[in-house]
Amino acid sequence: MTDRSDCIFCRIADGAFGTDIVAENEHAVAFRDIQPQTPSHVLVVPRKHITGLRELEPEDGELTVGVLQLAREVARREGLLDGGYRVTTNDGADAGQTVFHLHFHVLGGRRLTEPLG
Ligand code: 5GP
Ligand code: ZN
């Protein structure tokens, strides 16, 4: 299992690379995806290292709310509330997960015609 020292998103959340932080709260940090798929494409990650949705524990309830509230705040700051936006997470290989630290994609800024995330 990946731990904080070799997890790219833990390191970004810790400020290791000077990545521009779009928004943050007690539980989560948001930054722009390095390969944006939409005009606005921001990743929201919990500060705590969790490999994916499957690893979420019952005691992570406050963290989960904090992550989703930050996703919504990102959408507001990006001006997406009127037009609409999508929040997705990929859990596991078949879903296309490539970074094994739980993250939610906040996607918007164009019409999302793809039927799936
Ligand atoms: P996944 O495929 O796991 O759902 O999403 C991982 C996302 O992280 C991809 O969209 C990818 O472009 C993004 N990503 C991977 N490495 C980095 C990085 O070092 N910095 C940033 N900002 N995004 C990254
Ligand atoms: Zn991590």
Query: Tens of pLDDT along 32-75?
Result: 999 999 999 999 999 999 999 999 999 999 999 999 999 999 99
Mean pLDDT calculated for residue range 10-26: 94
Question: Ligand 1: which atom is nearest the Cα of residue 31?
Answer: 22
In this prediction the pTM is 0.95
Binning pLDDT at 50, 70 and 90, where does residue 29 land?
very high
How many Å separate Cα 33 from the centre of its chain?
Answer: 9
Q: Is 103 part of the annotated catalytic residue set?
A: yes
Choosing from 34, 89, 94 the residue with most ligand 1 atoms within 8 A of its CB, the one to mutate for a pocket test is 34
Would you say the CB of residue 95 lies under 6 angstroms from ligand 1? no
Which percentage of the chain shows pLDDT scores above 70? 96
pLDDT(110) > 70: yes
Mean pLDDT calculated for residue range 84-101: 97
40-46 sheet: strands from edge to edge? 21-24, 28-32, 40-46, 104-108, 85-88
User: Residue 18 carries which side chain, given as an amino acid letter?
Assistant: G
